[in-house]
Amino acid sequence: MGYQAEHRKSIENPEDFWGKQAEEIDWFEFPKTILSQDSNQSYRWFEGGKLNTSYLALDHHINSGRAEQAALIYDSPVTGQQQTFTYLELRDAVARFAGVLKNHGVVKGDRVIVYMPMIPQAIIAMLASARLGAIHSVVFGGFAPNELAVRIDDARPKLLVTASCGIEVQKVIPYKPLVDEAIQKSNFPPEKVLVLQRPQVTADMKDGRDLDWETELSSANPTEPVPVDSWDPLYILYTSGTTGLPKGVVRDNGGHAVAMRYSMKTIYNAKPGDVYWAASDVGWVVGHSYIVYAPLLHGCTTVVYEGKPVKTPDPGAFWRMIEEHQINHFFTAPTAFRAVRKEDPDAEFLKKYDISSLKGLFLAGERLDPPTYDWLQNILDIPITDHWWQTETGWAIAGNPMGLEPHQPKSGSATLPSPGYNVTVLDEEGFEVSKNTQGNIAIKLPLPPSCLPTLWGDHDRFKASYLDQFPGYYSTSDGGYIDEDGYVFVMGRTDDNINVAGHRLSTGEMEELIGSHAAVAECAVVGIDDELRGQVPVGFVVLKDGVTAEPESIEQDLILLIRQEIGAVAYFRQAAIVARLPKTRSGKILRKTIRRLAVETDVPVPPTIDDPKIMTELLDAMQSKGIGQFSK
């Protein structure tokens, strides 16, 4: 079946379409109903089905003859370590660690927070939670204690799993002090903290609460997978919210397993036995979907990489990995290749390696900018696929269906809607716009399997965030257009989120933090284009009357504040003190105008602005600080 026929069938008869895909999964009990609605009137998939995601990712393949195939390859240039787990070895490690969790009272429905670096134990902890029917919530190891504390209080975990440290290039970052501070700040701390001691740092342990990973393993028995309902949550993954409070995206077991398996063959053209590498982190949705679950559900070999695109040790790191591990499919963010291009513009390091095993390169997490796309096209002789998706969906809303019917790519486009997604573009009133007209990208309900059915503990916020703006549709909060050939062009967020090196962060949260400083009267944080990271946040700050501190001192305070409360991942490096901010006559700050001033030389004065002179003042401030178009 070609793309058009498959997509049409998925939209016109979703029950039949996804019912056929569900037959690809080894259920304990096949679902009684393919598509239905729950008590919140949310569409749900595969009601009545019984399964276990850890079983599907591991035991099923052992039973099918893949016991000795490599399931996971760990490569850590920062420690010089490499390790390979067969499906049998990984299943045994997961089953035993599930025994550790079980020994400490973790049962079906309990939450387990995982705060770890890119090491095999992070994946083992996730799969072990799933094996018990527990719900894991992975928090990126670079997040600050405050961010971790907020997630602890929302998820209320029974247990937290961490490591003594992470490693960023050559810098060792102790994790335990961050965990201890987060727990001290939280109102609902976990009963136990399980610590993997790494040789680079030995963590201090708190008697009665902290447990040693190896000691606990030595007395644990392997645990069999616990059957769960299709609708039972597999994990909670937090994404930036516009109020500063993160939103807990819920992923259920049944729809997730079916969609992950389908996406591997349809989007990526991956076959069981292939080596699949997503160069991301398990703290992000890409890590959940395409480091841990989808490759293992599909019978592939997945790769866990503890390193960077450059400096570990050089810009040939990706090429070395592809040659050494015979990688067939590679997925990363455009920002990674911007870093490679910056250090190796002529791709000299590529010439050192044989990457003939590579069949396809896939990029997501942010818009693939045309210069990066063109550079990759010039140096590689394989298909380069941009695809677009969100934490909320768990897999591609739009992409080039390489396993179904590859299409000719268009620079700047994520190609076509994936089967199951009825993508449209709406104006502010909720009416469909014509082709090539920009508007709000929305998806007509029902969303396909694996998309979020709710937010953890807050269904009202789920409706307000995603459904209320355009009744009958899921609002993506991305703007863009669809051309005459049906190609989707995503132009950027319509809410306050920005994309920093593939990490979605809230400028609203940064504004709340900056506004808490004693010297600050008001502020605006906007994302401006950055050659390496895609976007970076920049603050524009008005001080209270009578403040005597030096502006440079206040700016450094604010930079440190964001680093402490959100983390280095925010890359907040510039804060400009200004006399006032551009506003409408009703008092709304014109953030879009500030963003335009940072990149354009001739920005028209908005008709709603209260004083046109502010535009000149802002330009002067940007020029003096080297912001945006004035960067030195």
532-541: pLDDT as tens digits: 888 899 999 9
The mean pLDDT of the chain is 92
Residues 172, 79: contact at Cβ < 8 Å? no
- Mean pLDDT, residues 610-623: 83
Q: Is the peptide bond before 446 cis (omega within 30 degrees of 0)?
A: yes
Report which of residues 627 and 228 the model is more confident about.
Answer: 228
- Mean pLDDT, residues 121-132: 98
Encoded tokens for 500:
């920093």
What is the identity of the amino acid at 246?
A: P
Residues recorded for the chain: 632
- Mean pLDDT, residues 479-494: 88
Q: Percentage of the chain with pLDDT > 70?
A: 97
Identify the CA nearest to 115 among candidates 253, 283, 276: 283
pLDDT attached to residue 520:
87
The tens digit of pLDDT for each residue in 562-613 reads 999 888 888 999 999 998 888 765 456 788 788 888 877 777 776 556 677 8
Domain parsing of the chain, residue ranges: 497-630
Per-residue pLDDT band for 45 (boundaries 50, 70, 90) equals very high
The tens digit of pLDDT for each residue in 50-103 reads 999 999 999 999 999 999 999 999 999 999 999 999 999 999 999 999 999 999
pLDDT attached to residue 493:
72
- State the CATH architecture for 497-630: 2-Layer Sandwich (3.30)
126 pLDDT more than 80: yes
Using CA atoms, how far apart are residues 260 and 79, in angstroms rounded to an integer? 31
pLDDT attached to residue 592:
79
Identify the CA nearest to 302 among candidates 316, 284, 282: 282
- Mean pLDDT, residues 106-122: 98
177 pLDDT more than 90: yes
pLDDT attached to residue 516:
86
- Mean pLDDT, residues 105-131: 98
Per-residue pLDDT band for 243 (boundaries 50, 70, 90) equals low
Using CA atoms, how far apart are residues 15 and 258, in angstroms rounded to an integer? 13
Task: List, in sequence order, every residue forming a beta bridge with 443; answer none if it has no partner.
Answer: 423, 474
Q: Is the four-CA dihedral 289, 293, 297, 299 of positive or negative sign? A: positive
pLDDT attached to residue 619:
87
Which 8-state DSSP code applies to residue 463?
Answer: I
| Cα 610 off chain centre by | 39
